[in-house]
Amino acid sequence: MAKKAVATLHEGSSDGRAYTKVIKMVKSQKTGAYIFDERMVRNEEVDAFFKG
């Protein structure tokens, strides 16, 4: 049954594949410790996320 559920996720629109989860390590201004910035961005905007 799990295979059937996974197979149905791949059918239809490809909106789910248009996004990528990106994680960037950023130094906090308050504490100086590193925090992780996690976001779901469109595939076209991945480079802009890491540059900005």
Over the chain (52 residues), the average pLDDT of each successive run of 10 is 55 70 93 94 92 82
Q: How far is CA 40 from CA 18, 24, 49, 50, in A?
A: 10, 12, 10, 13
pTM value is 0.57
Dist. CA 46–CA 52, nearest whole Å: 10
Beta-ladder partners of 35: 26
pLDDT at 52 (0 to 100): 76
pLDDT at 17 (0 to 100): 81
Dist. CA 28–CA 34, nearest whole Å: 6
Phi, psi dihedral angles at 24 (to 5 degrees): -125, 135
